[in-house]
């Protein structure tokens, strides 16, 4: 329908548009842009006996988090509309030649869509590689974001934009962990 | 111990109209996330290999626009549409003998997960919406990780 908008949207368009989410949320309800808190709200909302929940998950999640859960439902809808109205971006063929060559050397074969289908699929979920990437990666994203008190949105964007030194430390940690995986763990895992 | 994620109980409930606003801002962000390809495992690999400016340009220009907007809002003393005060919660250094332990340890663990999965929390939801259903397994794992942190929290340095 809107195929003419098909990507990749350049950084100088996408970056400023993402940055505007910070004043939008502040001006609408005094809210601070941060997405990973939703994982905590979802745990707090889980229908388990109260006694199963650690103290950190015992709070009024509706009052504190309903705005953010609604916001993240919007992100889900946005992902749906982006593909339905504009189309699935072919990131695998848009990345640099050097990245493609490096990933091919690691054994990645599928270069279409947003993710390599040979690594990310229900079929790969039960293989050791899929388990580490999807289940291990997901677990550490959830654990690390809450431990660090924020993720890419809360620290790298909101925190650094407000010149918060702890956020800079967290972002340096994000990169240390990412480089460790890219140059240390991935070659072992995929090689 | 203070944590920026613990909101005061006095926080008012959002009105239905405000919730519609959050839904629309989220939808706007989800479309940009997908069409700029920041939700792509390929793009995250390209970033960690320093082989393209794309991700750095996006995060960098987002920070600049966010920072300028926050300065304008502060200088003009603007209020939110719902009358709530406009303040970003300062991050606390924590009370551990190792200053900022939660930021560098938690941050590094997050970075490991980000590079493996190729998605941080926002993109997990955008990818699910775009039809990549295996991300439901990643979301469940992320919830398990959050739960595990909640259990271990009293024993971890912050």
Contact B118, B41 (CB under 8 A): yes
Distance of CA B56 to the CA centre of its chain: 16
Residue recorded with tokens 């990549």: B132
Residue recorded with tokens 């926050």: B70
Please report residues of B whose CB lies closer than 8 A to that of A182. Answer: 45, 48-49, 115
Does A173 contact B107 at a Cβ distance shorter than 8 Å? yes
Give the model's pLDDT for residue B13: 75
Give the model's pLDDT for residue B77: 84
Give the model's pLDDT for residue A50: 85
Query: What angle is formed at CA A174 by the lines to CA A100 and CA A79, rounded to 5 degrees?
Result: 65
Output the 3-class SS for B91-156: CCCCCCCCCCHHHHHHHHHHHHHHHHHCCCHHHHHHHHHCCCCCHHHHHHHHHHHHHHHHHHHHHC
Which residue blocks in A30-60 are alpha helix, DSSP H? 37-45
Give the model's pLDDT for residue B6: 45
Please report residues of B whose CB lies closer than 8 A to that of A170. Answer: 103-104, 106-107, 110
| Residue A97 counted as domain residue | no
From the list B26, B116, B151, the residue facing A136 with the nearest CB is: B116
Query: What angle is formed at CA B40 by the lines to CA B69 and CA A79, rounded to 5 degrees?
Result: 70
Size of interface A-B (CB pairs under 8 A): 545
Say how far apart CA A52 and CA A39 lie, in whole Å: 17
Please report residues of B whose CB lies closer than 8 A to that of A186. Answer: 115
Say how far apart CA B53 and CA B42 lie, in whole Å: 14
Report DSSP letters for A28-75, one per residue. Answer: HHS----STHHHHHHHHHS-S-GGGS-GGG-S-HHHHHHHHHHHHHHH
Residues 6+ apart with CB under 8 A from A128: none
Q: What 8-state DSSP symbol labels residue B17? A: H
Same domain flag for A66 and A125: no
Contact A123, A100 (CB under 8 A): no
Give the model's pLDDT for residue A140: 98
Residues 6+ apart with CB under 8 A from B135: B119, B124, B127, B128
Q: Give the pLDDT band (50/70/90) at residue B74.
A: confident
| Residue A6 counted as domain residue | yes
Same domain flag for A27 and A66: yes
Give the model's pLDDT for residue B12: 66
Percent of chain B with pLDDT over 90: 73
For B38, the 3-state DSSP assignment is coil
| Residue A112 counted as domain residue | no
Does B62 contact A18 at a Cβ distance shorter than 8 Å? yes
| Residue A60 counted as domain residue | yes
Same domain flag for A1 and A70: yes
A154, A60, B13, A31 alpha-carbon torsion, rounded to 10°: -10
ipTM score: 0.96
Residue recorded with tokens 């279409």: A112
* Boundary-marking domain end, from A69, A89, A109: A89
- pLDDT tens for each residue of B107-146: 999 999 999 999 999 999 999 999 999 999 999 999 999 9
Does B130 contact A181 at a Cβ distance shorter than 8 Å? no
Mean pLDDT computed over B6-11: 48
- pLDDT tens for each residue of A26-81: 999 999 999 999 999 999 999 998 889 999 999 999 999 999 999 999 999 999 99
Give the model's pLDDT for residue B62: 97
Please report residues of B whose CB lies closer than 8 A to that of A35. Answer: 120-122, 125
- Is the pLDDT at A22 greater than 90? The verdict is yes
Same domain flag for A3 and A72: yes
Interface test with A, best of B68, B142, B154, B155 (most A CBs within 10 A): B142
Domain range list for chain B: 16-52+91-155
Mean pLDDT computed over B88-102: 80
| Residue A113 counted as domain residue | no
Say how far apart CA B80 and CA A28 lie, in whole Å: 5
Say how far apart CA B156 and CA B149 lie, in whole Å: 9
* Residue B97 Cα, gap to closest chain A Cα (Å): 16
Say how far apart CA B41 and CA A139 lie, in whole Å: 16
Same domain flag for A125 and A164: yes
- Is the pLDDT at A1 greater than 70? The verdict is no
For A144, the 3-state DSSP assignment is helix
In this structure, the number of other CB atoms found within 10 A of the CB of residue B53 comes to 13
Give the model's pLDDT for residue B11: 59
Contact A95, B46 (CB under 8 A): yes
Q: Look up the pTM and report it.
A: 0.94
Mean pLDDT computed over A11-22: 98
Residue recorded with tokens 């890219």: A182
For A169, the 3-state DSSP assignment is helix
* Residue A107 Cα, gap to closest chain B Cα (Å): 14
Same domain flag for A83 and A145: no
- State which residues form the domain around A71: 1-89
Q: What total of structural domains would you count in chain A?
A: 2
């Amino acid at each position: 329908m809107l195929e003419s908008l098909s990507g990749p949207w350049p950084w100088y368009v996408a970056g400023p548009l993402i940055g505007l989410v910070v004043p939008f949320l502040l001006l609408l309800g005094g809210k601070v842009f941060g997405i990973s808190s939703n994982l905590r709200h979802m745990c707090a909302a889980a229908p388990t006996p109260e006694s199963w929940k650690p103290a950190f998950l015992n709070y009024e999640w509706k009052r504190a988090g309903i705005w953010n859960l609604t916001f993240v439902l919007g992100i889900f809808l946005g992902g749906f509309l982006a593909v339905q109205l504009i189309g699935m971006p072919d990131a695998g063929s848009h990345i640099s030649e050097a990245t493609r060559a490096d990933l091919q050397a690691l054994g990645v074969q599928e270069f279409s869509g947003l993710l390599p289908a040979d690594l990310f699929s229900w079929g790969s979920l039960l293989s050791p590689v899929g388990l580490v990437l999807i289940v291990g990666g997901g677990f550490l994203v959830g654990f690390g974001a809450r431990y660090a008190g924020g993720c890419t949105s809360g620290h790298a964007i909101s925190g650094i934009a407000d010149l918060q030194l702890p956020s800079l430390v967290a972002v340096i940690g994000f990169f240390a962990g990412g480089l460790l995986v890219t140059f240390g763990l991935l070659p072992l895992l995929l090689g | 111990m203070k944590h920026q994620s613990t909101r005061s109980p006095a926080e008012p409930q959002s009105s239905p109209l405000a919730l519609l606003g959050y839904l629309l801002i989220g939808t706007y962000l989800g479309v940009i996330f997908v069409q700029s390809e920041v939700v792509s495992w390929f793009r995250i690999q390209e970033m960690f290999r320093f082989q393209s400016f794309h991700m750095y340009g996006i995060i960098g220009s987002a920070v600049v626009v966010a920072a300028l907007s926050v300065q304008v809002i502060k200088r003009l003393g603007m209020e939110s549409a719902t009358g709530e005060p406009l303040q970003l919660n300062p991050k606390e250094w924590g009370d551990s003998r190792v200053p900022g332990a939660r930021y560098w340890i938690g941050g590094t663990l997050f970075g490991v997960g980000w590079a493996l999965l190729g998605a941080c929390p926002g993109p997990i939801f955008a990818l699910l919406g775009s039809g990549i259903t295996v991300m439901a397994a990643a979301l469940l794992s992320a919830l398990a990780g959050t739960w595990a942190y909640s259990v271990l929290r009293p024993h971890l340095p912050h």
